[in-house]
């Protein structure tokens, strides 16, 4: 007969006490594992929330970017680059420049490392008397966008006006009864109507657009332009001064005039929208951190209380087990069992109790941790699974820790058992 036989037989004989001990240690281990699992579920949920929020911000920003692009297109460019000697008073009253600068400036700007300006549109504008129709119009020579060499290629914002064609503002094509495909003469040159604009309620309604090179020829200003319209790039659209200073360093004899304030406002709104969303995300993060801290402290308090209660309870159970087994201890010692062997019987029982309790506790802890973790955070089923919260190290710790705690809790009663004097027991008859 080996010691373990005494241990197992006694456990089977006094099942209730043993089960109470197992439940108690299972509760302690369960609380520990459950707390860890719940916190892990919390972390997984937090990750999910923040990822979702980031993705949402990105999606919103992409939408806003597209809106911005379209809006800016409709509203006009954000800055106008004019020759330095251009009188701004004239420019504002006439709505077009009278001074010229070389067309080459556009290329200079396009080839520079300037990144704040993404879209460049050179133009030559002049108020003229349309000799053939006796109308005063604004003639605009344009040739579409000059791509900036240093930024990613973007779809041209302005459809260029092909050579030999003309685009007419609303008032012009209405009064002249012209529609797309018709022919019309302008200063002796034949043009095909390429497009008729809708009413815009601005000077655009009395504007005619032709290709830049043809305008230069007709107005006798070859190689000359009087304005470069620039659409700022996404990263600096909010900072007009930065754009201005960048342009001025490349083209010193120019001046930069802010235009399209509405677009700017939009852009600024977009910035603040992003800032608000980022702040909300930050707030979310902080909330989750705070929640985590409070859950952690609750869990740790709970674990400590449950563990302490469990240890006391196991100690009590062990103590009453020792009392119950006095007669057994007395006779075994009389027969020749050494004190160490009596200790071994009681300690082995604690180890068995701890192991069993530990295993039950791990299962119970994982189950409750997952359930509570999912319920508290209202996560959809499957978000927290056994495989993503189960921690092998934690399980090993629990399996080692539980018997250890059990032995610690029943150590004093076991020592009392081992130290009992058989004479004391056997004399009580």
The answer to the question of residue 337 lying near other proteins (CB under 8 A) is yes
Q: What is the DSSP string of 155-185?
A: --SS----TTEEEE-HHHHHHTT--TT-EEE
One of 13, 89, 134, 378 touching other proteins (CB under 8 A):
13
Please select the residue that binds other proteins; options are 334, 396, 400, 412, rule is CB under 8 A: 334
Q: Is 22 or 27 the residue whose CB approaches other proteins more closely?
A: 22
Residue 346 as a binder of other proteins (CB under 8 A): the answer is: no
Give the integer Cα–Cα distance in Å for 343 and 130.
Answer: 117
Q: Are 328 and 75 in contact (CB under 8 A)?
A: no
Rounded CA-CA distance 280/310 in Å is 43
Query: What is the H or E stretch that residue 207 is in?
Result: strand 207-211
Give yes or no for residue 134 binding other proteins (CB under 8 A).
no
Instruction: Report the phi/psi class of residue 232: left, alpha or beta, with left for phi > 0 and alpha for psi in -120 to 50.
Output: beta
Among 174, 341, 368, 371, binds other proteins (CB under 8 A): 341
**30 sits near other proteins (criterion: CB under 8 A):** no
Residue among 160, 166, 151, 163 at smallest CA distance from 197: 166
CA angle 276, 277, 282 (to 5 degrees): 95
Measured from the CB of residue 415, what is the shortest distance to other proteins in angstroms?
A: 15
Residue 381, binding choice from Mg ion, other proteins, none, Cβ under 5 to 8 Å by partner class: none
User: Of residues 34, 169, 369, 422, which one binds other proteins by CB under 8 A?
Assistant: 422
Q: Is 96 in the site for other proteins (CB under 8 A)?
A: no
99 within 8 A of 226, measured Cβ to Cβ: yes
- By rule CB under 8 A, what string of x and - marks binding of each residue 294-333 to other proteins? ---------------------------------xx-xxxx
Region for residue 330 given its phi and psi (left: phi exceeds 0; alpha: psi -120 to 50; beta: otherwise): alpha
Q: Which of residues 400-429 bind Mg ion (CB under 5 A)?
A: 429
Chosen residue from 89, 177, 335, 381 binding other proteins by CB under 8 A = 335
343 binds other proteins (CB under 8 A): no
Chain residues that interact with other proteins, rule: CB under 8 A: 1-3, 5-6, 9-10, 12-14, 327-328, 330-341, 422-423, 426-427, 429
Chain residues that interact with Mg ion, rule: CB under 5 A: 429
């Amino acid at each position: 007969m080996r010691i373990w036989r005494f241990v197992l037989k006694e456990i089977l004989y006094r099942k209730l006490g043993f089960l109470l001990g197992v439940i108690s240690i299972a509760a302690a281990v369960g609380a520990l594992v459950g707390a860890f699992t719940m916190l892990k579920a919390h972390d997984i949920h937090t990750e999910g929330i923040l990822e979702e929020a980031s993705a949402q911000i990105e999606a919103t920003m992409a939408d806003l970017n597209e809106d911005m692009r379209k809006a800016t297109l409709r509203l006009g460019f954000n800055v106008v680059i004019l020759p330095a000697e251009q009188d701004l008073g004239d420019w504002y009253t006439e709505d077009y420049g009278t001074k010229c600068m070389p067309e080459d400036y556009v290329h200079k700007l396009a080839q520079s490392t300037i990144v704040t300006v993404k879209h460049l549109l050179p133009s030559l504008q002049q108020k003229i008397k349309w000799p053939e129709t006796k109308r005063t119009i604004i003639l605009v020579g344009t040739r579409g966008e000059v791509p900036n060499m240093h930024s990613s290629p973007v779809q041209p914002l302005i459809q260029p006006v092909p050579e030999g064609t003309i685009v007419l503002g609303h008032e012009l094509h209405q009064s002249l009864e012209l529609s797309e495909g018709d022919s019309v003469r302008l200063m002796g040159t034949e043009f095909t109507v390429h497009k008729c604009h809708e009413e815009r309620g601005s000077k655009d309604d009395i504007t005619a657009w032709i290709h830049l090179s043809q305008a230069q020829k007709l107005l006798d200003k070859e190689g000359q332009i009087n304005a470069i319209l620039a659409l700022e790039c996404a990263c600096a659209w909010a900072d007009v001064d930065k754009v201005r200073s960048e342009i001025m360093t490349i083209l010193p004899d120019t001046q930069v005039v802010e235009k399209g304030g509405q677009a700017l406002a939009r852009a600024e709104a977009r910035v603040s929208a992003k800032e608000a969303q980022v702040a909300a995300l930050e707030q979310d993060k902080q909330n989750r951190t705070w929640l985590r801290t409070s859950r952690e402290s609750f869990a740790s308090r709970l674990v400590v209380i449950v563990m302490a209660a469990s240890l006391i309870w196991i100690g009590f159970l062990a103590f009453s087990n020792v009392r119950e087994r006095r007669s057994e201890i007395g006779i075994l010692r009389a027969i020749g069992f050494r004190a160490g062997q009596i200790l071994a019987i009681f300690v082995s029982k604690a180890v068995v109790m701890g192991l069993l309790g530990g295993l039950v506790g791990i299962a119970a802890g994982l189950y409750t941790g997952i359930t509570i973790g999912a319920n508290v955070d209202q996560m959809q089923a499957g978000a927290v699974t056994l495989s993503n919260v189960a921690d092998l190290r934690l399980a090993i710790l629990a399996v080692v820790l539980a018997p250890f705690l059990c032995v610690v809790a029943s150590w004093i009663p076991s020592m009392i058992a081992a130290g009992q004097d058989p004479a004391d027991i056997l004399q009580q008859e």
